[in-house]
Structure 1
């Protein structure tokens, strides 16, 4: 915290009317093996200081990785010099003082663990061995990796706000390839958690990576048709991320969102609710305050299918004539719920009866200005409520508006390994372009 104090004090001495500063420190260690041989062992430690100063409504910023007093002074002077030559921006400035977080809850984000390289190697070898033992067609190891990461973030500003928190995360990933005749297919799976002991069993990660690779063998083309589709839970998270991007205030003031002017409108079916859980204990997206020190809080963004609000930082809020919603830095642990819920993916396949299960997406063909959606995909053809065979080289052509409104049901296989929490989603009648 001392370095942030020094930045703010130096900004005052340079004549800034206000300032905000952040210090971040992180440590990560990664080990990767292929075919039981160590491929990579990497230790990375980084630290970063950043300062933004305001002279009225002129602003300037600077950053450094050097924490020495002389460098801090130079960074502040550089930011002040930049501010003196920038144009005034009526929206520039700190978030309002009354919005600063005063109660900093313990969200249980920091769980350090003592690890030896021998332990890590044992986990990696067990993971890879489980993948190869799953099926004789698994013959290629494409990398099994363990990463431990810890970070600390301190934020302060001229409202006498100075707070921070630390967090840990642990991840184990496995990538293999199955081969049969002249065909090779990849498979990948992973686990991630704030707490080391809460990672899935290592053998389960290896087996799932192998299962996914083998299941892709023998993929065929589909003919172009309009059919129901299921986005498997890890893929359905992308739909939730597109929604989050579309209600972000930065897009709104630039007239760059297809959800502009949609407050109070039905953008999902009436059975859908979407809400934010920034204080979810051990959540991978949790934070006690946003990037400007504004207190985060649980918020409902969609209820009964209707859009209830937009996500603002102080800057985007001022540009739109609104207050910050505590979302500088984005939405946190965004969650989709529905009353049209089934127990698992098997039940959702049965409900769809005939259509496409999407398990992979390729490319970035999403236009958030218009909502147009066109992405490459692969997955499985479903008939009689059961998976029949894998399919490849297809394109999903639709719009986000159409897909949001076409959400019919969701499985309870909720994806929790990130910031977007949603189960597998059944969407009615999507154009799937294949080969005729």
Structure 2
């Protein structure tokens, strides 16, 4: 008889309590996916995957242990529970470990309102292949594109259920549909590549494969003839495609886990200005059809809209239960976990206040400098915020794009950089991180 994910969770709870656990939480993840890749008008690779993974965390007082597996048979679950309890007996005490109190738990959520799952029929492997072929053909039709290194399409579903002895039990389903294309221009050592792609919850929201392929091809052709830029102090405009990485560094530094370890350049900045005064950074896990949305976190706490930065001022840390206890604060409903590890703080959907200027306005205003469209590598000092990354993009002269550039490094200090950001108005509203192009004056650029 087929069991539901909730029934599997309940069985794990029963086995763990019978084995001697004082408290227990469980997670079951059921996933299925189909993906195809094409090359040269033919199928290159196809993959179908189905799996069910289970995770069990047990507590003996303040000692905890976690076990995981992919076997959900009753006898396997019993053996897993016994092994977890035996491991917990040998584990060191963690004064901050433990489940949420019942009065902290999420109640009466409306998961359907988030529209995380597309109820329409799943696309066939052939339909996915046709999308990938269409993207490849559109890229190859762009004059100057010499080949397409990768064109792909995929569909996946993901169901999760959480249960714990504190009374929490809940789950939801999620679907994902995507198309991507990587195009190459030029020949020999002068080859350049660029990409485009889209990933959505609902098939009907997905951009067309033709548009994705054509955009990838046009971007690749624009990069022909790239060379190193000048070295010196110049303004840098982070294109909307990669600008969210800057906000990602701020989020990493505002994680309660990093702050509790003392490994954050923001650790003494609570209540202080970290962005220009007119900018706010808002987290909203309840946006319909968005990949970062969820009704509750991995510890069963309710998720809620909150301003991480309000009018430039850092208002709080991102906290799971453990980091909140370490810092003597209330959790923020931001715990994330897989089946094989403990919860840790994570951010959901983010939006940075947009500006009024277009990207073209910022290019004009910057005069001479660098437009960054891709980055590689990363050297970030978590304690000081010193920042250095490899970059590629376009050199700007007199407010207009002059030529493509590559093999350069941009550097600065994140605290100083973020205080100088000037946002454009070009953020895509359907992304989980809605961040526009960002201009930063006076960065160090190493090229020729």
Preserved CA contact (<8 Å) 1:237 1:415: no
| 8 Å contact kept, 2:146–2:187 | no
Equivalent residue, structure 2, for 1:430: 443
Q: Name stretches of at least 5 consecutive residues in structure 2 with no aligned partner.
A: 1-5, 337-345
What TM-score results when the alignment is normalised by the length of structure 2? Answer: 0.94
Q: Report what 2:36 is aligned to.
A: 31
Aligned residues of 2:276 and 2:420 also touching (Cα < 8 A): yes
Shift of 1:382: 1.2
Give the Å deviation of 1:341.
Answer: 2.6
| Partner residue in 2 for 1:276 | 283
Task: Say which of 351, 356, 380 aligns to 1:341.
Answer: 356
1:293 partnered with 2:304: no
Provide the C-alpha distance between the structure 2 equivalents of 1:171 and 1:259, rounded to a whole number of angstroms: 36
Task: Tell me whether 1:327 sits opposite 2:334 in the alignment.
Answer: yes
Distance 1:182 1:53, change over 3 A: closer
Please say if 1:366 is aligned against 2:374: no
Count of paired positions: 431
CA distance 1:249–1:182, shift in 2 (3 Å):
closer
Task: Please give the alpha-carbon distance, in whole angstroms, between the structure 1 residues aligned to 2:51 and 2:149.
Answer: 28
CA distance in 2, matches of 1:358, 1:217: 16
Provide the secondary structure at the position in 2 that maps to 1:368: coil
Give the structure 2 partner of residue 130 of structure 1.
138
C-alpha contact 2:33 2:48 (8 A) present in aligned 1: yes
What's the counterpart of residue 393 of structure 2? 379
SS at match of 1:365: strand
How far has the Cα of 1:287 moved from its partner? Answer: 0.8
Displacement of 1:243 in angstroms is 1.2
Aligned to 2:319: 312
Give the conservation status (yes or no) of the 8 Å contact 1:180–1:217.
no
Aligned to 1:114: 122
Provide the secondary structure at the position in 2 that maps to 1:234: coil
Deviation at 1:223, TM superposition (A): 2.0
Distance 1:44 1:416 in 2: 31
1:258 to 251, 260, 265: 265
Cα shift at 1:125: 1.8
- Determine whether 1:87 maps to 2:97: no
1:4 alignment partner in structure 2: 9
- Whether 2:394 is the aligned partner of 1:389: answer no
Q: Does the 8 A contact of 1:242 with 1:368 survive in 2?
A: no
Post-superposition CA distance 1:276-296 (Å, at most 9, x none) = 010010111111111111000
> After the TM superposition, which segments of 4 or more aligned residues of structure 1 sit over 4 Å from their partners?
none
